[in-house]
Amino acid sequence: MTRSEVKPAIAAVKELMCQEPDALREIVRSVMQAMLEAEMDGALGAGKGERTEGRLGYRSGYYPRTLVTRVGKLELRVPQDRAGRFSTELFERYQRSEQALVATLAEMYVQGVSTRKVKAITEELCGHAFSASTISAINKKLDASLAAFAHRRLDEPFPYLILDARYEKVREAGVVMSQAVLIAIGIDWDGRRQILGVVMANRESSSSWKDFLLRLRTRGLHGVEFVVADDHAGLRAAIREVLTGAAYQRCYVHFLRNALDHLPRKADDDCLQELRWLYDRRNLAEARADLAQWLARWQGKYPRLTDWAEETIEETFSFYRLPRQHHKHLKSTNMLERLNEEIRRRTYVVRIFPNAPSCLRLVRALAVETHENWLEANRYLNMGDLREQKKLELRQAA
């Protein structure tokens, strides 16, 4: 679908939502019902009414189940099999993050920092008003599963590590302040992505990042050879101290944004475009050759930018030591940025969290949801070339 086709489609959806308030609820219900049917087909090894030798069982009707979501209550029909072995993970997985969001909204209302609209939303979603004891019961059950995820052992090695932070507004002692959410993603030797840790910190300092990395190492993190992160002084210091020997890749996207600080407001667009092209070269030699040409062309016009780039750009070229098919995935923190966008979409509903635990609860719930989806997906990277590269390096060192 082209961009010109997307706008009318969005307009049509908005018009539908205005005319039919329950339209979104029905769309979500239909999708989730289809997911249940697909789960049953997979469990039985055959579709409804399909005759095949590989069939593992037979259907036996449905039972009703109500699922509470942000778009309202969904009435679903859960398929059953004759042997009674079928069990869906859909509800538990979907409601983990939904429960975290609803609990946060309810907590806001109970603490008197929200509006009557929040009360209306939570009562519509769950069908009853909230008391402090109700919220405590919700959170106790949710926190147990999130704690198991947050403290699980990291037994396998993770050669690639991506680190970044985002900020959320939290109310502490009656004062609203920004707190950092530190996140780590690892890629194992099977090429699969995993969310390794999510913690809250007052700010992105060297001590907070060091403490975060040390906690990961205590849980078993090892084998890190390549770290992708932004150019934050505290984070870089922590990486050098805790992940000794790991190569550091400065995110090239952040680097290009930082370049704007060294240019006049009405700079030539070609200058930055040519700088960006350096990250599409096949190897380090080509990138350095093109860098020399870029410096020669723009030194006279933008000396402040070229001096800064010449001094700092090598940190953004570390990815060239990796297999070429890994370049686009590991020259920036974009993988983690996409996760942050999803977190931002959900935390935007809350705006200001009533306390730090409620913020961490929601972000971790979203992280668990993403983590499980990643593990079920096809591997993210083919690690075969990296293994061969490692073997070659070991032979040369010997």
Q: Which residues pair with 227 in a beta bridge?
A: 161, 248
Tens-place pLDDT, residues 63-75: 888 776 656 677 8
How confident is the model at residue 105, as a pLDDT? 60
Is residue 95 very low, low, confident or very high in pLDDT (cuts 50, 70, 90)? low
From residue 311, how far is each of 165, 262, 307, 389 by CA, in Å? 25, 13, 6, 29
Q: Which residues pair with 160 in a beta bridge?
A: 187, 226
Considering only CA atoms, which of 79, 83, 27 is closest in space to residue 48?
Answer: 79
Tokens of 103: 């609990």
Phi, psi of 263 (to 5 degrees): -125, 150
Tens-place pLDDT, residues 330-359: 999 999 988 888 888 878 877 888 888 888
Task: Give this prediction's pTM.
Answer: 0.72
Tens-place pLDDT, residues 102-128: 666 655 544 544 545 555 555 555 554
Give 142-170 as a DSSP string.
HHHHHHHHHT----S--SEEEEEEEEEEE
